[in-house]
């Protein structure tokens, strides 16, 4: 089955700086890669996603890149703000099911 | 759009009792819903896939007789934790897909505490 690895597990950034989270996946059949933001005690919220026929996607301060050959994808958050503090999960979809990474705790300090 | 609700948000029950959690898609029809379990500071673990009008598909290691799933309509799936024990205490989260896309939208979660 699919295996998704996510790094780093924690990330502290100064407000205004950029944050990058990286994930790798194992199943070459995976074709959909969403990113979720989860705040404490809440359900995950979809923030951006990318499909295997696209290499990069951007939505305001958030961007995702995908390298199918290397089987890795990354989340980039620019101009970080305190409200970006949360746990971020990457996921890969194989046969309609999502396999999640272990999560990255992002802390943005003012 | 794509709002998923869960009820209750929190439940505390005694060991040996059963608890039902509801998952609703509020503004779309979902032929497929998913149930996840999440332990503190851990990732989401898929428990089962719930398909409207048919039996749920459980992941390896998940007891189907303990975690009963019913997907009776295109907007409602329920998870019943039967004969709950303290080790069943966890955060249970559902999600729903808008067909034919793969995008999953998650509910707010239900915190179950079994005493």
pLDDT digits (tens, 9 = 90+) for B78-111: 999 999 999 999 999 999 998 778 899 999 999 9
A36: left (phi over 0), alpha (psi -120 to 50) or beta: beta
Q: What is the pLDDT of residue A1?
A: 81
Does any CB of chain B come closer than 8 Å to the CB of residue A100? yes
The values of phi and psi at residue A83, to 5°, are -70, -5
Q: What is the pLDDT of residue B35?
A: 97
Nearest CA in chain A to B4: A43
Q: Could A43 and B108 be called an inter-chain contact, meaning their C-beta atoms sit closer than 8 Å?
A: yes
pLDDT digits (tens, 9 = 90+) for A50-105: 998 889 999 999 999 999 999 999 999 999 999 999 999 999 998 889 999 999 99
Q: What is the pLDDT of residue A94?
A: 81
Q: Could A100 and B44 be called an inter-chain contact, meaning their C-beta atoms sit closer than 8 Å?
A: yes
Q: What is the pLDDT of residue A65?
A: 97
Cβ contacts of A40 within 8 Å, gap of 6 or more: none
Nearest CA in chain B to A32: B102
Q: What is the pLDDT of residue A3?
A: 93
Q: Scan residues 39-98 of A and list those with Cβ closer than 8 Å to B.
A: 41-46, 49, 89, 93, 96-98
Nearest CA in chain B to A95: B102
Q: What is the pLDDT of residue A95?
A: 80
| pLDDT over 90 (residue A21) | yes
Which residue ranges of chain B lie beneath pLDDT 70?
Answer: 1
């Amino acid at each position: 089955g699919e295996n998704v690895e996510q790094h780093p597990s924690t990330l502290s950034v100064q407000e205004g700086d950029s944050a990058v989270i990286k994930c790798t996946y194992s199943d070459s059949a995976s074709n959909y890669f969403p990113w979720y933001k989860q705040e404490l005690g809440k359900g995950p919220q979809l923030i951006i996603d990318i499909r295997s026929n696209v290499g990069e996607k951007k939505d305001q301060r958030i961007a995702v890149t995908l390298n199918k050959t290397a089987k890795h994808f990354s989340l980039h958050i620019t101009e970080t703000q305190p409200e970006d503090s949360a746990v971020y999960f990457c996921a890969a979809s194989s046969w309609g099911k999502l396999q999640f990474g272990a999560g990255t705790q992002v802390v943005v300090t003012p | 759009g794509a709002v998923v609700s869960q009820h209750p948000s929190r439940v505390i029950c005694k060991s040996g009792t059963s608890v039902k959690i509801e998952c609703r898609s509020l503004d779309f029809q979902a032929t497929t819903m998913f149930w996840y379990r999440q332990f503190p500071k851990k990732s989401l673990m898929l428990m089962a896939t719930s398909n409207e009008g048919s039996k749920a598909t459980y992941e390896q290691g998940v007891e189907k007789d303990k975690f009963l799933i019913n997907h009776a309509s295109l907007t409602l799936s329920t998870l019943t934790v039967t004969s709950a024990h303290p080790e069943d205490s966890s955060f249970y989260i559902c999600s729903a897909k808008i067909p034919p896309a793969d995008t999953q939208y998650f509910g707010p979660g239900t915190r179950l505490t079994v005493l």
